[in-house]
Amino acid sequence: MHEEKLIYKIRDNFFPVAGLLATVVSLGVLFVLIIDVFKDGYMRLNLQFLTSYPSRIPEKAGILSAWVGTVWIMVLTAFLIFPIGVASGIYLEEYAKPGKIKDFLEINISNLAGVPSIIYGLLGLQIFVYFFKMDRSVLAGALTLSLVVLPIVIVATREALKAVPLSLREASFALGANKLQTVVFQVLPSAFSGILSGVILAMSRAIGETAPLITIGALTYIAFLPTSPFTSEFPFITFQGLKDYFTVLPIQIFNWVSRPQKAFHSNAAAGIIILLVISLFINFLAIYLRIKFEKYMRRR
Amino acid sequence: MSKILRLFLMLSILLGFNLKIFADSMIKIDGSSTVYPITEAVAEEFQKVYKDIKVVVGISGTGGGMKKFTANQIDICNASRPIKSSEQKQARMNGIDYIELPVAYDGLTVVINKKNDFIDYLTVAELKKLWEPAAQNTITKWSQIRAGFPSEKIKLYGPGTDSGTFEYFTEAICGASGKSRGDYTPSEDDNVLVQGVAGDKYALGYFGLAYYEENMDKLKAVKIDNGKGPIAPTYETVQNGTYQPLSRPLFIYVNRSAADRDDVQKFVEFYLKNAKNIVKEVGYIALPDKVYELAMKKFQDKKTGSVFKGVKIGVSAEELLSK
């Protein structure tokens, strides 16, 4: 009797321990990576590094065009994937009638999520760069990356909507709200934090994607920035930057890693740190928005 | 407040797009990753002098760059090998004419581990025996290469089959571009090859001289005997043409109609004038002075076409510009 109890106890404790071990291992690897990158790159982290263009002299080289390009692409991608992804998710979850069309759409979206990103690069090259004649512009890059991560947003939106209890919808209908009102005022706000998580996930993936951008022909050496969206003349804002050439951090990092000179490898490490910081900042922003939103929801 | 903001945003969406359609003059360059550091350095210096001319450089490999070049999408193509006849045909079909300009030399270096004490030099025939397709799965021990070498397993490292380095090496050693044994560890990243050879006493690999010079503490360069005694790859032996057959010229190809543009003219002339020092700084070997002068003359005379019919091994500097 006593022995049996012990076996149960061991069995009960086995899983949490295994889980903890798995967590520690993956975090440990991440930790080692971060330490290694910091060791190589920290001495290159200064203002000069952030405000200089690439150079053949490693100590004078910087990532200005790369990080500005990354921010441009990320902001634009967010603006593109949010409405399209969320609207698709709402349609599929709330409106689409079960049937062949819905099945067809669902299967294709799941398939798209599994397509290697370089395929999207080829698609972007043909459609955006050549067919729509966008050239190798910021807009073409952001559209291509949006294609890569849209399935993630759609799937996340659907999962978030699914998690909203049926009772909430029924209550809304019972009070006389129609379908649109129910979705917009009840379901969507309740699902919003889940949707935001999906968008964060998508953005984090997009920020590190290099292959599709190389495929559409994003440049490596570029010593100017996309035109700033803010101008001194009316209407004080311009979208000229969308048409400009760009490069992004992963491309610059990749280029430096493959150079023979060790000093460039330090630059690459410093670039990775900046990429991590930008990625963390985006996550932080999304979490901040989520908390803000949840507070707002509770007050309602 | 937010209403005003919204109105403002809508207005700018309506107006913003029609502001400016064409950017200032821009020189578009793409192509080889090997030539990239040189062109990047020239572009950097060039833009210090000519602030109003924008230069952008991409990396898509010599093949990828040539594809864009012959489709008239770029002005200048970086190339680590001469233009192929298929690419020449493509250019003709699209009505593209081009000026071929050599800008530097690269010495492909055969490297071994620092601790390797039995290899001092290899003949071209021995290298061929080691790398030719027939060697696959049959030449596996060093003792098979030369009597007196230890009976240890050979570990080979080399660039991926897409690279110009691979094409040049196979042409020079095995006699045909692309002819190579397949059972070696390939990597597009030369630093991976460095790590591989540095970690194994019985390993051998090949890549550009710059990667060897940065890793002399871990690697040893093999002297190459092409019938005139073993020659080590150094700045001098590559430049004066005695390190054969693994010295290769690097090129830029300039679109003929772009060459009439003022900005492109300034850039190419700046390139040829300053290449000598810049090439050295980024780890390649400068051509003899006379060759830069000849190249300048060729560009100013707008002499189009290629002196090559496919990859050619062991071309002397003057030959690059003759005909």
DSSP letters for chain A: -HHHHHHHHHHHHHHHHHHHHHHHHHHHHHHHHHHHHHHHHGGG-SHHHHH----SSTTT---HHHHHHHHHHHHHHHHHHHHHHHHHHHIIIIIPPSSHHHHHHHHHHHHHHTS-HHHHHHHHIIIIIIIS--TTBHHHHHHHHHHHHHHHHHHHHHHHHHTS-HHHHHHHHHTT--HHHIIIIIIHHHHHHHHHHHHHHHHHHHHH--HHHHHTT--SEE-S-PPPSB-SSTTSB--GGGGSB---HHHHHHHHHTSSSHHHHHHHHHHHHHHHHHHHHHHHHHHHHHHHHHHHHHH-
Interface test with A, best of B22, B35, B44 (most A CBs within 10 A): B44
For residue B34, give how far its alpha carbon lies from the nearest alpha carbon of chain A (Å). Answer: 10
Residues A53 and A127 in one domain: yes
What is the distance between the alpha carbons of residues A64 and A208, in angstroms, rounded to a whole number? 17
pTM, to two decimals: 0.82
Q: Are B169 and B107 in contact (CB under 8 A)?
A: no
What's the pLDDT score for residue A288? 86
What is the reported pLDDT for A253? 92
pLDDT for the residue numbered B314 = 64
Same domain, A31 and A141: no
- Across A169-194, average pLDDT: 90
**Looking at the structure, do residues A13 and A130 belong to the same domain, yes or no?**
no
Q: Is A220 on the interface with B (CB under 8 A)?
A: yes
pLDDT at position B114: 93
A209 at interface of B, judged by CB pairs closer than 8 A: no
**Are the beta carbons of A56 and B210 separated by less than 8 Å?**
no
Residues A57-66: what's their mean pLDDT? 90
Q: What is the ipTM of this complex?
A: 0.78
Partner-chain contact A236 B12, CB within 8 Å: yes
pLDDT band at A77 (very low <50, low <70, confident <90, very high): very high
Question: For a pLDDT cut of 70, what percent of chain B falls above it?
Answer: 88
Structure tokens at B196: 């591989």
> CA B132, CA B144: separation in Å to the nearest integer?
14
Q: Do the Cβ atoms of A259 and B37 come within 8 Å?
A: yes
pLDDT band of residue A287 (cuts 50, 70, 90) is confident
What tens digit of pLDDT does each residue of A138-156 get? 999 999 999 999 999 999 9
Does residue B44 sit at the A interface (CB-CB below 8 Å)?
A: yes
Tell me which residue of B299, B294, B289 sits closest to B240, measured CA to CA: B289
pLDDT of residue B315: 67
For residue B243, the 8-state DSSP code is: S
Q: Does residue B53 have a pLDDT over 60?
A: yes
Indicate if A191 and A121 belong to the same structural domain.
yes
Residue A256 Cα, gap to closest chain B Cα (Å): 10
Query: Do A9 and A156 sit in the same domain of this protein?
Result: no
Mean pLDDT of B77-98: 91
Cα separation of B311 and B87, whole Å? 13
Q: Do A34 and A77 lie in a common domain? A: no
Measured between CB atoms, does B30 come within 8 Å of chain A?
A: yes
CB-based contact, A230 to chain B, within 8 Å: no
CATH number for the domain that contains residue A152 = 1.10.3720.10
Do residues A119 and A228 both lie within one domain? yes
Cross-chain CB nearest to A56 (options B19, B44, B56): B44
Identify the residue with better confidence: A32 or A286.
A32
Q: What pLDDT score was predicted for residue B84?
A: 87
pLDDT of A297 higher than 50: yes
Mean pLDDT of chain A: 88
Same domain, A170 and A55: yes
* A219: chain B residues, CB-CB within 8 Å: 56-58
Angle between helices A100-113 and A138-162 (to 10 degrees): 120
How many CB atoms lie under 10 A from the CB of residue A177? 16
Residue A15 confidence (pLDDT): 86
Query: Taking residues B203-230, what's their average pLDDT?
Result: 91
Which is nearest to A150 in space by CA: A241, A95, A212, A96?
A212
Q: What b-and-e string marks burial along B256-275, b requiring 16 or more CB atoms within 10 Å of the CB?
A: bebbeeebbebbbebbbebb
Residue identified by tokens 């250019």 is B91
Q: How far is B315 from chain A (nearest CA, A)?
A: 26
Q: A7 and A63 share a domain?
A: no
Please tell me the predicted confidence (pLDDT) of residue A232. 65
Tell which CATH classification among 1.10.10.60, 3.40.50.10140, 3.40.50.1370, 3.40.190.10 matches the domain B107-239.
3.40.190.10
pLDDT of residue B4: 56
Measured between CB atoms, does A192 come within 8 Å of chain B? no
pLDDT at residue A242 in the model = 83
Residues of B in contact with A255 (CB under 8 A): 36, 59
Question: Poorest-confidence range of A58-62, A294-298, B121-125?
Answer: A294-298
**Which residue among B16, B191, B213 sits closest to A238, beta carbon to beta carbon?**
B16
Give the whole-angstrom CA distance, residue A21 versus residue A98. 43
Contact status of A53 with chain B (Cβ, < 8 Å): yes
The CATH architecture of the domain made up of B3-104+250-322 is 3-Layer(aba) Sandwich (3.40)
Q: How far is CA A82 from CA A153, A157, A162, A278, in A?
A: 8, 10, 18, 19
**Mean pLDDT in residue range A117-129:** 90
- Model confidence at B7: pLDDT above 60: no
Are the beta carbons of A245 and A227 closer than 8 angstroms? no
Q: Rounded to whole angstroms, how far apart are CA atoms B239 and B104?
A: 9
Return phi, psi of residue B208, to 5°.
-65, 150
pLDDT of residue B298: 92
Q: Is B19's CB within 8 Å of A218's CB?
A: no
Q: Which pair of structure tokens corresponds to residue B94?
A: 């699209």
Would you say residue B21 has pLDDT above 80?
no
What is the average pLDDT value for chain B, to the nearest integer? 86
Residue B104: name the closest of B190, B210, B177, B232 by CA: B210
Residue boundaries of the structural domains of chain B: 3-104+250-322, 107-239
As given in the structure block, the two tokens for residue A265 are 């490898």
- The answer on A55 and A38 residing in a single domain is no
Residue B162: other Cβ atoms inside 10 A: 14
The yes-or-no answer to whether B3-104+250-322 and B107-239 have a common fold is yes
Q: Give B123's pLDDT tier (boundaries 50, 70, 90).
A: very high
Residue A38 domain boundaries: 1-43
Residue of B nearest to A247 (CA): B58
Residue B163 sits at φ, ψ, to 5 deg, of -85, 155
Looking at the 3D structure of chain A, how many domains does it have? Answer: 2
Separation in Å, CA of B4 to nearest CA in chain A: 13
Residue B206 is encoded by which pair of tokens?
């090949």
Q: Does A245 share its domain with A287? A: yes
